[in-house]
């Protein structure tokens, strides 16, 4: 079965045929422990993974009693999506009437099939989601033959790796042992800072193989057109991708129809004033000698810093960022000090942090500001922690025009801040009927910390005072720059 050519239909049972498109055929032939399949919507990824699990179960070596045993886990990020999409796809290919009963109580499909050689197949397919902590614990204690992670971009890498430790444990050696074992994954394209991109495009570790289907559309000279290499078109309605791209943002079309890595905005962005084309410099920005360097800090277990300068005209340049994950303040302060010394030495530095950093930890009498001062970094708390004032300070700078130029520009080095302002930091949509509604406070995620650090930078530099005091004709020139948001 592993030598089936790409253009040959796979005969899974006497009553079920499946013909794999070229990329999927290569995916199904691979023997890698971890296999990933990425492609546009409608490219047949989910169906391919269903077929892969079934054909591996049919090819399992029989035990002494003639029974081919296999146990597969099918994993999705939430139960709603598991039931509405993944489970429906599986049962559409392998209905209960022909393949065996499905238990809604424990979400297990018990497949029982006789084989022409007199053996039989006993396959357990366990459907699990990760939005219930108790189910995650149970999932990671299973003994499995293989696993399928549906829409893997929604999964943490730790779950993928842990599932790899649970496969090849069933059936036992006395029942024939596992003829095949592995973790297969499918997904629409994730962002370029996702673990999938890092493993598939950069590190490419041994034992991991990734397959990328051609997009349904191509982008040429700013226009989207059909891709002649697109797969699975014979099972889609005519002009499937062209009809669906109407009204979609270019970012949506690139990710879901062109199968390109990218970020698609979700929810209500905290900064609708941000425009990537307007507020991001075409090339990296360098520091201006003689001007002070402002640093904004957000604390916690994911501390972040943003570095910027205010030009004589009143325009802001955000030059750099320092973003961490699960890092203590002592180590972060050391990294920040090294960054300032290596790239911004000789500049006068003002550091402003989250006022909540004045509180002492229960296990340590020092505050984050004490730790920074011990590292030679004279940080001060920002003048306010009012969420509205913080947001408006950044929004006003984003929307401001100074001599026809944007009032705030990010260097391309500020990659995380850029994505956060583009909508990765957002107000989550409420699941209610009728008009779209959103929560009152932005979601805390890996983009929120660096975005809040930018807020403390601007508040410490005086942008909050500008909002609270009306501009006067005799004010300094930068205070009289035009703010487009006010009209």
Pick the CATH number of 276-486 from 3.40.50.11440, 3.90.550.10, 3.30.420.280, 3.40.50.300: 3.30.420.280
- What pLDDT score was predicted for residue 477? 47
3-class SS of residue 298: strand
pLDDT above 50 (res 44): yes
Residues 177-217: tens digit of each pLDDT: 999 999 999 999 998 888 999 999 999 999 999 999 999 99
Residues 88-112: tens digit of each pLDDT: 999 999 999 999 999 999 999 999 9
Residue 337 backbone class (left: φ over 0; alpha: ψ -120 to 50; beta: rest): alpha
What secondary structure does DSSP assign to 119-187, as a single string? -EEEEEEEEEESSSHHHHHHHTT---SEEEEESGGGS-HHHHHHHHHHSS--S-GGGT--S--EEEEEE
Residues 446-468: tens digit of each pLDDT: 899 999 999 999 999 999 887 77
pLDDT above 90 (res 471): no
Confidence of residue 327 (pLDDT cuts 50, 70, 90): confident
Beta strands (DSSP E) in 217-303 are 217-220, 223-226, 268-269, 293-298
Q: How far is CA 472 from CA 106, 135, 405, 466, 486, in A?
A: 69, 62, 22, 11, 16
Going 202 to 180 to 189 to 73, the CA torsion angle's sign is negative
Q: Give which of 261, 269, 266, 142 is closest to 201, Cα–Cα.
A: 261
Average pLDDT over residues 161-166: 93
- What pLDDT score was predicted for residue 478? 47
Q: Distance between CA atoms of 329 and 319, rounded to whole angstroms?
A: 22
- What pLDDT score was predicted for residue 116? 86
**Which percentage of the chain shows pLDDT scores above 90?**
69
Structural domain boundaries of the chain?
Answer: 10-212, 217-256, 276-486
Confidence of residue 45 (pLDDT cuts 50, 70, 90): very high
Q: How far apart are the first and last CA of the chain?
A: 68
- Give the pTM: 0.69
10-212 placed in CATH 3.30.420.40: no
Average pLDDT over residues 261-273: 83
3-class SS of residue 102: strand
SS3 content of the chain, % helix, strand, coil (to 5): 35, 25, 40
State the chain's mean pLDDT as an integer: 88
Using CB atoms within 10 Å of the CB of residue 3, give its burial: 0 to 12 exposed, 13 to 18 middle, 19+ buried.
exposed
Q: Give which of 344, 341, 361, 340 is closest to 297, Cα–Cα.
A: 340
- What pLDDT score was predicted for residue 128? 93
- Helix and strand numbers (H, E) in the chain are 17, 23
pLDDT above 60 (res 476): no
- What pLDDT score was predicted for residue 230? 97
- What pLDDT score was predicted for residue 481? 45
Residues 55-79: tens digit of each pLDDT: 999 999 999 999 999 999 999 988 9
Q: Do 10-212 and 276-486 fold alike per CATH?
A: no
pLDDT above 50 (res 6): no
């Amino acid at each position: 079965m592993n030598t089936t050519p790409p253009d040959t239909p796979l005969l899974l049972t006497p009553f079920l045929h499946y013909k794999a498109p070229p990329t999927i055929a290569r995916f199904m032939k691979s023997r890698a422990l971890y296999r990933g399949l990425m492609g546009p919507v409608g490219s047949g990824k989910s169906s391919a993974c269903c077929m892969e699990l079934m054909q591996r179960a049919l090819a399992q070596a029989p035990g002494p009693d003639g029974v081919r045993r296999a146990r597969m886990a099918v994993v999705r990020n939430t139960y709603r999506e598991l039931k509405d999409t993944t489970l429906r796809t599986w049962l559409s290919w392998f209905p209960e009437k022909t393949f065996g009963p499905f238990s809604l109580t424990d979400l297990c499909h018990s497949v029982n099939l006789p084989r022409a050689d007199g053996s039989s197949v006993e396959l357990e397919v366990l459907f699990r989601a990760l939005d219930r902590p108790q189910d995650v614990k149970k999932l990671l204690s299973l003994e499995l033959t293989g696993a399928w992670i549906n829409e893997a971009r929604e999964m943490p890498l730790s779950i993928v790796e842990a599932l790899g430790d649970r496969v090849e444990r069933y059936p036992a050696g006395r029942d024939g042992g596992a003829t095949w074992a592995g973790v297969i994954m499918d997904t629409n394209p994730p962002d370029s800072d996702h673990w999938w991109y890092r493993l598939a495009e950069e590190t490419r570790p041994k034992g991991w193989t990734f397959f990328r289907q051609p997009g349904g559309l191509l982008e040429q000279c700013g226009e989207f057109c059909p891709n002649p290499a697109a797969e699975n078109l014979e099972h889609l309605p005519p002009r499937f991708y062209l009809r669906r791209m109407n009204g979609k943002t270019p970012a949506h079309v690139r990710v879901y129809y062109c199968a390109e890595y990218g970020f698609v905005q979700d929810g209500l962005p905290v900064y609708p004033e941000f425009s990537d084309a307007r507020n991001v410099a075409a090339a990296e920005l360098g520091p201006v000698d003689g001007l002070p360097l402002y640093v904004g800090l957000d604390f916690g277990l994911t501390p972040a810093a943003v570095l910027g300068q205010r030009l004589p005209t009143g325009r802001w340049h955000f030059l750099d960022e320092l973003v961490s994950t699960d890092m203590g303040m002592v180590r972060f302060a050391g990294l920040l000090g090294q960054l300032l010394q290596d790239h911004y030495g000789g500049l006068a530095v003002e550091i402003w942090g989250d006022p909540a950093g004045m509180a002492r930890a229960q296990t340590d009498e020092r505050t984050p500001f004490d730790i920074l001062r011990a590292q030679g970094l004279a940080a001060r708390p920002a003048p306010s922690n009012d969420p509205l004032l913080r947001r408006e300070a950044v929004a006003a700078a984003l929307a401001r025009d100074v001599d026809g130029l944007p009032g705030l520009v990010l260097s391309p080095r500020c990659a995380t801040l850029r994505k956060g302002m583009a909508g990765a930091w957002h107000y989550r949509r409420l699941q209610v009927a009728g008009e779209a509604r959103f929560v009152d406070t932005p979601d805390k995620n890996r983009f929120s910390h660096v975005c809040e650090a930018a807020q403390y930078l601007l508040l410490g530099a005086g942008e909050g005072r500008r909002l609270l005091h009306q501009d006067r004709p005799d004010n300094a020139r930068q205070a009289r720059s035009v703010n487009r948001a006010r009209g």
